[in-house]
Amino acid sequence: MKKRKLIKLGGSIFDQLDPQYFEEWKAWCDAGHELVIVHGGGPALSAYCEAMEIETIFEAGVRVTTDDILLGAERVLGGEVQSKIVYQLNQAGIRAVGLTGIDGKSIVGKQRDGLGAVGDIAFVDCTLFETLLKAAYVPVVTSLVTGKDSTLNSNGDTCAIAVAAALAVDSFELLTDVDGVKLDGAYQTVVSSERLVAGIESKEIYGGMIPKVQAVRNASTQGIQDVRIRSGKYVSSQGTRVKEETNECIVTNLSTS
């Protein structure tokens, strides 16, 4: 039976990605299953801003997107980062096509007040994605989305959840560069959704981990059968699942050696 999987590939993990992931993904596609990859590129964008002497401000883990930063996002996320990912996928024998939410007006965002050109996902049109998947291509999507007046920069994790829900995927995997969620001074093996909320409120969970935790919690409510957080550094780590039936988000120390 054909299955559909979405991988959220964190921008901070791609350069550290275990090369065996490409083998795993090719085997998945060769078995007749469908794959979608949504990627970030925050560190590369930060490096661009530093090189261009553009001030970067974050609010609750979200980058305030000025006109200069939006231009950088278009150049870096939709250009440099995406081209590298697509190239390596194709080199691994995986037929990949890069696109943004601008292409085909496939992802529409609503501008969030006070953060510049930051967009929350309002709508996902699956037509282009379905066309590519039907032709056995892997859509590689970055989180630049269609706004009312201009391109908007969306958080990659929340964008991935929206696309996963719209495509009704069977599996969702969040690949990251951290070992898990740290609460009470230790990485947690199992943590309830309520405890994650409390961790954000107490600022134990902060910065870039906030949207990741929110993505995990949101994924568990979308009817996706298999939701996992995995370490991008170690393909041998199968990560841990979100158990919706017990309303528990499971997050572990994902590192293996």
Percentage above 70 pLDDT, the chain:
90
Per-residue confidence (pLDDT) for residue 242, from 0 to 100:
60
Task: Answer for the pair 212, 176: CB distance below 8 angstroms, yes or no.
Answer: yes
Per-residue confidence (pLDDT) for residue 213, from 0 to 100:
77
pTM of the model: 0.85
Query: Do strands 171-176 and 191-192 pair parallel, antiparallel, or not at all (unpaired)?
Result: unpaired
Per-residue confidence (pLDDT) for residue 127, from 0 to 100:
97
What band does 25 get if pLDDT is binned at 50, 70 and 90? very high
Per-residue confidence (pLDDT) for residue 205, from 0 to 100:
86
Q: Give how far Cα 193 sits from Cα of 17, 32, 79, 186, Å.
A: 28, 34, 36, 17
- For the stretch 164-186, pLDDT in tens is 999 999 999 999 877 677 778 87
Per-residue confidence (pLDDT) for residue 241, from 0 to 100:
58
Q: Which two tokens stand for residue 98?
A: 């890069």
- For the stretch 137-149, pLDDT in tens is 999 999 999 999 8
Task: Answer for the pair 85, 37: CB distance below 8 angstroms, yes or no.
Answer: yes
Which of the pair, 170 or 256, is modelled with greater confidence? 170
Q: In what order do the strands lie in the sheet with 144-146?
A: 119-124, 107-111, 144-146, 151-153
Mean pLDDT (the chain, rounded): 86
Per-residue confidence (pLDDT) for residue 238, from 0 to 100:
63
Measured in Å, how far apart are the chain's first and last C-alpha atoms? 33
Secondary element (H or E) of residue 144 = strand 144-146
Per-residue confidence (pLDDT) for residue 23, from 0 to 100:
97
- For the stretch 195-254, pLDDT in tens is 778 889 999 988 877 877 777 778 877 878 888 878 889 887 665 556 644 444 445 444
Which of the pair, 115 or 253, is modelled with greater confidence? 115
Residues 6+ apart with CB under 8 A from 179: 187, 231, 253, 254, 255
How is residue 180 annotated by DSSP? S
Per-residue confidence (pLDDT) for residue 133, from 0 to 100:
98
Q: What is the CATH number of domain 4-178+218-237?
A: 3.40.1160.10
Q: Give how far Cα 49 sits from Cα of 127, 152, 256, Å.
A: 34, 17, 34
Per-residue confidence (pLDDT) for residue 203, from 0 to 100:
93
Task: Answer for the pair 145, 108: CB distance below 8 angstroms, yes or no.
Answer: yes
Q: Taking residues 123-148, report their average pLDDT.
A: 96
